[in-house]
Amino acid sequence: MADVEQGPALANDALSLDGLNTTVSNGTDAVNATAAKFVSSPEGPALAYGSLVFMALLPIFFGALRSISCAKSKNSADMPETITSRDAARFPIIASCTLFGLYLFFKVFSQEYINLLLSMYFFVLGILALSHTMSPFMNRVFPANLPNRQYQLLFTQGSGEGREEIVNYEFDTKDLVCLCISTVVGIWYILTKHWVANNLFGLAFALNGVELLHLNNVSTGCILLGGLFIYDVFWVFGTNVMVTVAKSFEAPIKLVFPQDLLEKGLEANNFAMLGLGDIVIPGIFIALLLRFDVSLRKDSRTYFYTSFLAYIFGLGLTIFVMHTFKHAQPALLYLVPACIGFPVVVALVKGELTEMFRYEESLSEADPALKDEAEAEKKEQ
């Protein structure tokens, strides 16, 4: 989490750059050598931090709820991506290579052209993510008297018995409406890089990540969060790589909110920011605990609410430390111990620790390769 002046100067990747929460040491750079930085009122930072916390909680809460129905989907195209313990162990290494690769790219090639390519990539990805996010809402507000036609996009290769499906996507009129609205937001972002458009895409990315990325068990979650805890701390405090990439990377993969909104309105440009990785990574663990609560077949959602409150505590602590020491903080440094520690303590008190760590999501029959991989991991252990 960080303060930053000038809109799209910093960015956080939801997966490979999750700790990218950094700015110049005290967050008080001058606009130029002769102009002093505009100082916002005390209410401005409070509003910005509060808004970031609120925005971070939205995709975690609703993404976790949507992950339940996603896990029960019978359509193989809608099945979530399941992260195994092997994937979790590799992830910090892959993330580090990606981060360092971006660092080298920005050192060697023109920042302008790289960000142009990234903008086009996230333009397409953002439209799809926002459209998927809006779909359940559109199902409720779509007028009943309007026809909802069904469509199918089908690409095949070959002919006869050897014909193979490359793309088989079914959609309807409601999906087309969502796609049109998302495209308008995408064009708005590309043309203006406005912070509101950035946040709409960021929220969509985060919610889709929490909904569609599933951990197969609690042990895998601990491995993933523990590895990224080390990754986050090392790249933020140990080197200048994260800072360099953060200053160069422009993409809607962070949530931002202006601290000078009360003074400058929607044209404000002195931002506090939170990387999507600091939402998605703890979020998929919190969603797993909600599905564990459901598996217990009890009315309470003890572990979900415990981890949810733990996330609020960890994020609040991040803001407090950053505000006190005037230095950007790797949020996972505080979020990981809170999100793992609080539920484990509750499980110990309730005598359900063994049951919690034994819980494993049932793998889809439609994905035998994933089942074989899980069985191979069990044999290795």
The beta strands (E) that lie in 36-110 are given as 81-83
Gyration radius (Cα) of the chain, Å: 22
Residue 299, exposed/middle/buried by CB under 10 A (0-12, 13-18, 19+)?
exposed
C-alpha to C-alpha distance for 119 and 139, rounded to whole angstroms: 30
C-alpha to C-alpha distance for 319 and 327, rounded to whole angstroms: 10
C-alpha to C-alpha distance for 136 and 144, rounded to whole angstroms: 15
The beta strands (E) that lie in the chain are given as 2-5, 81-83, 150-157, 164-172, 213-215, 254-258, 270-275
A 10 A CB-CB count for 22 gives 28
C-alpha to C-alpha distance for 315 and 337, rounded to whole angstroms: 11
Catalytic residue flag (residue 18): no
- The alpha carbon of 224 is separated from its chain's Cα centroid by a whole number of angstroms, namely 14
Catalytic residue flag (residue 278): yes
Q: Which one of the listed residues 175, 232, 260, 293 is annotated catalytic?
A: 232
Three-state secondary structure call for residue 81: strand
Specify which residues 3 forms β-bridges with: 272
Residue 92 makes CB contacts below 8 A (sequence gap 6+) with: 227, 228, 230, 231
What single letter denotes the amino acid at residue 279?
I
Q: Which one of the listed residues 3, 13, 18, 278 is annotated catalytic?
A: 278
C-alpha to C-alpha distance for 130 and 305, rounded to whole angstroms: 26
C-alpha to C-alpha distance for 79 and 84, rounded to whole angstroms: 15
Catalytic site residues? 232, 278
